[in-house]
Structure 1
């Protein structure tokens, strides 16, 4: 499975209880009413982008496929549901045999999206589709938020490398998902070994301040690290005095020293001083890595500094202030029976406060201008216009309950780079603004 999205499928648990109770109680009521088998279409989308964001990034599709594939109720789960009196006996019997048997189409991972984009379309019976709502949204909302933050940071960093190092700033499982999403959004490496093991993301890491403090002096700490990891290692130089540490680092490792890391202070000023000092000491090829609560704005502010790589933690794994994409999962069409020949009828929520939705089973395409740059996200329910037929965005992910679209994580990463390049240049501006292209419903 080296080319599969999962990388290594280690002890994958059932995802059936990663859900809200009302999903199961709706199934119970629908079974009793005789409507559970009605053919239905659900769509995941967002009504708006987070404030100030100009595009969103689709991430988590591979994890959604894993979740759907592993959504089943074992005996222990069924016993819990029975003992807690959550659903009745007939519903328990139905859940015991549950396997998703429908179809799923969606935006491929790494693609960009806009308000109203039908990011995921789930088709099957009402009961089998509604059960997937919570787990799908929890994955897409988290992963897409991190990927969007990563993309903004990647755009700000330009050709400089980005290190994901947020594992200690979030839940341990969220940390792995965050590493995956960050890689899609443009980060190069991660410090999280679980992410490296599961998703084959390159891992990096050398030492913290504790290692320096362990030793009697900085020279002893640097010597121990170089003896163990070699001259190409990265030495942390801001435990005591930065200038003295840089001098000692080059004396210990020689001019072949791989990099120095600065984790505090005025990074702009220190980066210039350290670069000058390294060059004067003959370590002209030694790189400078900066960390310390960076976000896309801090990265952009360091564009003129002689920095070679950025390490980002807290702001990345929390979506840089936008930890969710506010995606929803709505029933948009349904038939009056399970008969495949029965026509689908559009349905939609009509609410005040901007929470209404557009009914109908949708397609989406991106219209380009004469220069090949995106100018509109076009979403429709009828025939696809001839000029957009080859620009459709949704791809088949699951057919008859079987996953048909696994891909290497690098494919999603490369897709995102291409998708972002296809947007107007203003997409990567960090100033607040509206979505970079409008969504047109036809």
Structure 2
């Protein structure tokens, strides 16, 4: 079977077959009527600035999608924050890209949602280790999309091995409850010792300590078992019996310190979000965040023609005319018509992406991460 999981192929995406049916009808109709106007189209979520910033990403895949087509495109830099106005602009004959709209919006909408949620987690624990643990909540074919968005937003790593191969990053993670089950209740020390003997020295010794006994007891047993080799303990207490999670973490920290294990870190996971992370930062050293990222709402982008054969046009509720966007010195996001003067000392945010069908921008994930975190500080997200 050539496609055992029924996923849409890269070829279908690039050929414009991964589209909504009405774009095929549109092509048929325009070709029949011999119409193919020169247009400018923009991708937007909100028409005006809202003050509620999202992270823009997915533009690398959009560039790949548009490459080789007779058009020009400009876009915000990967990782830039926005709160209104266009994030992408395409200029060319409409039928050059008409059937690409569905895939193009998907390339932007979901990754931008993932990255925005990951940034929220990052800012909730700015001085802690924060890892993406959410790949199990999405289709495996988009695991790399999740993990790249998490890295772009400043998370320190992720758990998915295949995504790591694609992104050239080492996946993080130590042991699941299944490993503890295989050794059985009362044999936790054997499980941790076997892990220590079997796994590469490069892997941190983080013992899972909430499987059979209470978190304090298993944490102390792990410290006694592995001694100086123990880097930390992970508490993944399920929400159904978690109670006061902060109290549990504080109690574990106290008992470890009381017995001289001050260097043993505490890592928390299991349904965490920014609100649950913030009060734990004073006592825990790291966090695994999953469903908060993968369950994020996609950014509701749409693509609209705003100029046709040189004349402004729009549907009701949208803004006609080609636009530019700026970052103001105060950290604001300013939207204006492209043929009008921008704000004083405003930084234009659009940069060339495609010229005559060729990609004219490079994509560096580390640079995008720096850009995202720096821009978050400029616009005041998380403050």
State the TM-score, normalizing by the size of structure 2.
Answer: 0.89
Contact map agreement 2:76 2:349 (CA 8 A) in 1: yes
Paired residue secondary structure (1:300): helix
2:348 corresponds to: 392
Find 1:110's aligned residue among 70, 75, 79: 79
For the pair 1:57 / 2:27, whether they are aligned, the reply is no
Q: How large is the RMSD of aligned CA atoms in angstroms? A: 2.1
Structure 1 pair 386–57 and aligned structure 2 pair: CA distance change class (3 A): closer
1:3 corresponds to: none
Counterpart-to-counterpart distance in 2, 1:194 and 1:136: 24
Contact map agreement 1:123 1:129 (CA 8 A) in 2: no
Paired residue secondary structure (1:283): coil
Structure 1 residue 386, shift from structure 2 partner: 7.3
Pairs within 5 Å for 1:185-334: 185-216=153-184, 217-229=187-199, 230=201, 232-241=204-213, 242-264=215-237, 265=242, 266-304=244-282, 306-319=283-296, 323-334=297-308
Counterpart-to-counterpart distance in 2, 1:385 and 1:135: 32
Find 1:366's aligned residue among 312, 320, 327: 327
* Matched length: 363
Structure 1 gap segments, 5+ residues each: 1-10, 70-98, 336-343, 351-355, 430-442
Contact map agreement 1:175 1:317 (CA 8 A) in 2: no
Counterpart-to-counterpart distance in 2, 1:222 and 1:292: 20
Paired residue secondary structure (1:333): strand
2:108 corresponds to: 140
State the TM-score, normalizing by the size of structure 1.
Answer: 0.78
Structure 1 residue 226, shift from structure 2 partner: 0.9
Structure 1 residue 192, shift from structure 2 partner: 0.9
1:417 corresponds to: 373
Counterpart-to-counterpart distance in 1, 2:343 and 2:332: 17
Paired residue secondary structure (2:148): helix
Paired residue secondary structure (2:207): strand
Q: What whole-Å deviation, never above 9, does each CA across 1:102-151 have from its counterpart, x for those lacking one? A: 11100011100112x21000111111122221111111110111111111
Structure 1 residue 244, shift from structure 2 partner: 2.2
Structure 2 gap segments, 5+ residues each: 1-8
Contact map agreement 1:199 1:409 (CA 8 A) in 2: no
Q: What whole-Å deviation, never above 9, does each CA across 1:8-40 have from its counterpart, x for those lacking one? A: xxx95441322111112211111111212x211
Counterpart-to-counterpart distance in 1, 2:93 and 2:114: 32
- Higher mean C-alpha deviation, range 139-148 or range 41-50: 41-50
